[in-house]
Amino acid sequence: MESGKKTHDLPTSVQLDLQTGVFEPCAMHVTRKVSDLSMMFYDTESVEKLVKKGDPVVYDIRHQNFITRNSDMALGVTVVQPGKVGDEYHMTKGHFHEREDRPEIYFCVQGEGYLLMETNNGDFKVEFWRPGTITHIPGNYAHRVVNTGDKPLYFFASFNVSAGHLYKPVIENGFSKIVVEREGETVIIANPRRK
């Protein structure tokens, strides 16, 4: 997720629109649609149907790096749209950091859902998220955000660019649990892809 080689040795600000989660100036904006997460949702038939029906947006990410001569802080704001693929709620891809000594702070600004976290030894943790929930994610936990509400969920992230993003283990195995709607209830169940 490299962006912006320019150094920021002097203090720098961006301005966040608290309603929408859009901030400016912003060096990098990426939109992820259902097709970009085709390896993530367990119900591959529903993925195919949705992609044919217009490939809806699942989330937008805006990143800004603040590279100085001796530091590499970054901020990211992610807006996850409400919706489901089959019965599985919209979510971020999720990733490990390449470096275990690079943790991250996530701050839920709007919406509600869950933050799923898991180590490569299978230690699984989940936090219920509502506006104002701030979570410290240790550097060895993969992290994924799930929007279970009927409005956009957006969160602020602060991390070091040198953390690196490792998607492969999540693409191959998923998280051990997924968040779905069953009989009108939101439930966290074992990931059927792992059986």
For residue 20, the cross-strand partners are none
88 counts as binding ligand PAN under rule CB under 6 A = no
Shortest distance in whole angstroms from residue 102 CB to Zn ion = 9
118 counts as binding ligand PAN under rule CB under 6 A = no
The entry of ligand PAN, Zn ion, none that residue 58 binds, CB within 5 to 8 Å by partner kind: none
61 counts as binding ligand PAN under rule CB under 6 A = yes
Binding segment for ligand PAN (CB under 6 A), chosen from 16-24, 88-96, 124-132, 181-189, is 88-96
From the list 15, 154, 159, 7, the residue with the least C-alpha distance to 74 is 159
CA distance 77 to 109: 10
Shortest distance in whole angstroms from residue 115 CB to ligand PAN = 10
In the block, residue with structure tokens 């720098």 = 12
Looking at residues 102 to 141 of the shown chain, list those that interact with Zn ion (rule: CB under 5 A).
104
157 counts as binding ligand PAN under rule CB under 6 A = yes
CA distance 41 to 45: 10
CA distance 9 to 4: 13
Taking only Cα atoms into account, the Rg of the chain, rounded to an integer number of angstroms, comes to 17
Residue 142, both tokens: 């993969």
- Identity of the amino acid at 31: T
- Length, in residues, of the chain: 195
Shortest distance in whole angstroms from residue 10 CB to Zn ion = 26
Using CB under 6 A as the criterion, which residues of the chain lie in contact with ligand PAN when the complex forms? 61, 76, 78, 92-95, 104, 143, 157, 159, 163, 165
Using CB under 5 A as the criterion, which residues of the chain lie in contact with Zn ion when the complex forms? 104
